[in-house]
């Protein structure tokens, strides 16, 4: 009886130590018929959230729920210290690294599951240039490089099929006016590149590229903040949610929501955000969402 008790205790202790987010309770009570041992293990599962914002100095992902409330954060892998794009798909968060030219695949708790091959241009052995955004749609992984003036497509499964390099299967050349690419989003019909101009004050717009062909290009209205008519100055990333495009701004440390239909309806030249929320105080250097 004591041997069974010891083995059971050892097993549950092992579970309590090695299971992520697990807590354990033990009770050993002496009764008239011997020792009565009670144990339970509570599994606390971290959740996947709607918004996942990368922060370079912290090398972290900050998680926010659908209301924009900060929920949690997790640290990135040591090699993933220069995050410049994020894509959340199902129970995974993909983070692209500017320096490594690779994509790191995490579960929603922040456990590293896989690392992609090194991303090369469509032809030749050269890696992609400065990376400004990441988007995933089905089996497609798209990477934005403002430096190369291209959006590159990679087969998602092949990109994560082991070590080595992978050439892009397709490239879409950015519009000549799309000079300040800062983030990428995607749906079944379009790729959306958020762009800021070099004018004073800067002007932020979306360039809409048909998916998957890339042409013709449509340009959105100038993006304004939610409660003011100030123009967005420091876009750091973009994501799509249904009929809404979201932009994270590194200058105001906020997320802004825009209705796709209104942005591209051709009525007027500016569009206010339909909502906003502030980032966590520690998430002060956003680099992607």
Residue 98 buriedness (CB in 10 A; 0-12 / 13-18 / 19+): buried
- Predicted local distance difference test score (pLDDT) of residue 180: 96
Which residue in 130, 126, 167 sits closest to 150, CA to CA? 130
Residue tagged 């955000």 (tokens): 273
The domain limits of the chain are 2-43, 51-288
- Predicted local distance difference test score (pLDDT) of residue 17: 33
Tell me the chain's radius of gyration from C-alpha atoms: 23
Q: What is the pLDDT along the chain (289 residues), one digit of tens a residue?
A: 444 333 343 433 333 333 344 434 334 445 445 555 444 445 557 899 999 999 999 999 999 999 999 999 999 999 999 999 999 999 999 999 999 999 999 999 999 999 999 999 999 999 999 999 999 999 999 999 999 999 999 999 999 999 999 999 999 999 999 999 999 999 999 999 999 998 888 999 999 999 999 999 999 999 999 999 999 999 999 999 999 999 999 999 999 999 999 999 988 899 999 999 999 999 999 999 9
CATH of 51-288, one of 1.20.140.10, 3.30.420.40, 3.40.50.2000, 2.120.10.30: 2.120.10.30
- Predicted local distance difference test score (pLDDT) of residue 36: 54
Could you report how far apart the first and last alpha carbons of the chain are, in Å?
Answer: 55
- Predicted local distance difference test score (pLDDT) of residue 83: 98
Pairwise CA distance, residues 216 & 26, whole Å = 65
| CA contacts within 13 A on the Cβ side of 289 | 31
- Predicted local distance difference test score (pLDDT) of residue 278: 98
Torsion angle defined by CA atoms of residues 139, 75, 193 and 268, in that order, rounded to the nearest 10 degrees? 130
| 32 contact partners, CB below 8 Å, separation of at least 6 | none
């Amino acid at each position: 009886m004591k041997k069974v008790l010891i083995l059971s205790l050892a097993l549950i202790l092992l579970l309590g130590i090695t299971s992520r987010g697990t807590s354990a309770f033990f009770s050993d009570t002496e009764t008239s018929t011997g020792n009565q041992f009670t144990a339970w293990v509570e599994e606390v599962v971290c959740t996947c959230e709607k918004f996942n914002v990368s922060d370079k100095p912290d090398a972290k992902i900050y998680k926010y729920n659908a209301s924009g409330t900060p929920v949690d954060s997790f640290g990135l892998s040591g090699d993933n210290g220069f995050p410049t794009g994020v894509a959340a798909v199902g129970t995974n968060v993909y983070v692209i690294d500017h320096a490594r030219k690779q994509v790191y695949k995490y579960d929603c708790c922040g456990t590293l599951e896989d690392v992609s091959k090194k991303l090369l241009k469509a032809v030749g052995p050269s890696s992609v240039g400065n990376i400004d955004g990441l988007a995933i749609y089905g089996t497609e992984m798209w990477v934005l490089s403002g430096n190369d003036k291209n959006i590159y497509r990679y087969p998602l499964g092949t990109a994560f099929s082991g070590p080595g390099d992978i050439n892009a299967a397709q490239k879409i050349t950015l519009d000549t006016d799309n000079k300040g690419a800062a983030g990428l989003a995607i749906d079944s019909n379009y790729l959306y590149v958020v762009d800021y101009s070099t004018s004073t004050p800067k002007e932020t717009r979306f360039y809409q590229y048909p998916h998957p062909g890339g042409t013709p290009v449509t340009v959105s209205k100038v993006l304004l903040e939610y409660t003011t008519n100030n123009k967005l100055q420091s876009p750091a990333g973009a994501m799509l949610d249904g009929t809404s495009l979201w932009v994270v701004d590194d200058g105001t440390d906020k997320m802004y929501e825009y209705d796709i239909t209104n942005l591209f309806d051709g009525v007027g030249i500016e569009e206010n955000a339909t909502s906003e929320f502030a980032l966590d105080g520690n998430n002060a250097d956003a680099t992607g969402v």
